Structure 1
Amino acid sequence: MVASRALRIGVEYAFTQLGWTRVEARVPADDPLGLRAASIAGLRREGIARAPRGEVEQVLLARVVDDPPAFSRDGFVAILNAGLPRKRVIGQGVLRDRDGRVLLCELTYKGEWDLPGGVVEVGESPATGLVRELEEELGITVTIDGLVTMNWLPPWSRWDDACLFVFDLGVVDADLVDQMVLQRSEIAAVHWCDLETVREKATLATTELLESLADAPLPAYREAPQQPD
């Protein structure tokens, strides 16, 4: 493409002759040819510059001076990887007491109670993320006994869709909650809950999951119902 070649020449001139260390471009999100030209020229997608309603958002792309050559394997992989969709990943755990009740967290930032866990960090496995979250938020170290299911969560309210990995954390004595040190900025309290309490307090996705789990082992993959706004 002529456009991508011209852009590539311009970027190299900025680096070699002008001494720049970074070149940015903003391309309208509804301009696929422009986005393709920028990618072929070696610019990596970095994010979206939001716009007011009725205006077109801008895709931010950039290249820095020590990026690998665009047509090398490393350069191609980096550009392709930067442009691929990203999906939020969550790790949660089912922890039961000896009466069969499930531990739910009363959260400070939403009204519904939920299973313990949280968002997995970049480069972190779902299992490792769950263990870390419980150490940070509850002050306990758990052992993962296996995967219960992977639940796809559809978009809800202002949240994008997500993949939720639900792990079995086994059975413990109910007084474990007395040893917990809660991260008060996120966890207001923890509760051992039977199914009736789950139905009353938990999110629709958590309620549906725990009701299904009470009847039979869950399939490896599921899709959660749409949560009402």
Structure 2
Amino acid sequence: MDLLPFEEYAASLHRKRASAGVLFRDGDGRVLLVETTYKSTWEIPGGAVDAGEAPWRAAVREVAEELRLHRPLGRLLVIDHLPADGPMPEGLAFVFDGGLVTAEEVAGIDPTDPEIRSVGLHTPDAARRLVKPALARRIESALDALVAGEVALCESGRPVTP
């Protein structure tokens, strides 16, 4: 078997997109969602990981851009494999713990990012109706991971055992 020169091998490797989100919740178990201006479904704060950027740095950057919140990032809760979907290539979504927020803190958020229309705290049931099904499952997996003290490995938000 002939091996490719290292440079050709490296150039042939598949590239994956990556996103990083942060799960904030309040003492009543509601989760913080952002209403975006560019699509009909809501999201958790976060976004695309830039080239050369670590997912945890992307999570901190996105929260600062979207919510103007500057808080320490908690532990990793979810790694989710996302299949290709229309124009979006296969990817990985990371969800980190943002910790607890109060309703007063959320009410004080004045998003200046043009991508964000509004923010709000929603029960998991209400969130399930506002976000895409895969994100609803990812949020549920993240909430379960908080209780279990483990990282949830998922495929389209569904927990898997490797």
TM-score, normalised by the number of residues in structure 2 = 0.83
Determine helix, strand or coil for the equivalent of 1:205: helix
Q: Which amino acid aligns with 2:55?
A: P
User: 1:221 maps to which residue?
Assistant: 153
SS in 1 for 2:69: coil
Residue 208 (str. 1) matches residue 140 (str. 2): no
Q: Matched residues in 1 for 2:9 and 2:56: separation?
A: 27
Partner of 1:102: 31
8 Å Cα contact 1:91-1:126 kept in structure 2: yes
- Kindly provide the amino acid, as one letter, of the partner of residue 59 in structure 2: L
Supply the distance in 2 between the matched residues of 1:222 and 1:101 (Cα, whole angstroms). 22
- Conserved 8 A contact 1:98-1:174: no
SS for the counterpart of 2:47 is strand
Judge conservation of contact 2:138–2:157 (CA < 8 Å) in 1.
Answer: no
Return 5+ residue gaps in structure 1 as ranges. Answer: 1-38, 41-75
Number of residue pairs matched? Answer: 153
Determine whether 1:115 maps to 2:44. yes
Determine the structure 2 residue equivalent to 1:128.
Answer: 57
Counterparts of 1:160 and 1:117 in 2: how far apart (Å)?
18
1:159 aligns with 2:91: no
Larger RCO: Structure 1 or Structure 2 (Cα < 8 Å, ≥ 6 residues apart)?
2
State the match for 2:124 in structure 1. Answer: 195
Q: Which runs of 5+ in 2 are unaligned?
A: none
Name which one, 1 or 2, has greater alpha-carbon Rg.
Answer: 1
| Residues 1:88 and 2:17 aligned together | yes
Q: For the residues of structure 1 that align with 2:104 and 2:26, how far apart are their CA atoms?
A: 9
1:177 is aligned to 106
Equivalent position amino acid for 1:175 in 2: E
Aligned partners of 1:132, 1:169: CA distance in 2, in Å? Answer: 13
Q: Measure, in 2, the Cα distance between the counterparts of 1:149 and 1:211.
A: 10
Equivalent residue in structure 1 for 2:76, among 147, 154, 165? 147
Secondary structure class of the residue paired with 2:19: strand
Q: Given the two structures, how large is their TM-score scaled by the length of structure 1?
A: 0.60
Instruction: Write the distance in 2 (CA, Å) between the matches of 1:197 and 1:120.
Output: 27
Q: Percent identity at matched positions? A: 35
Q: Cα RMSD over matched residues?
A: 2.3
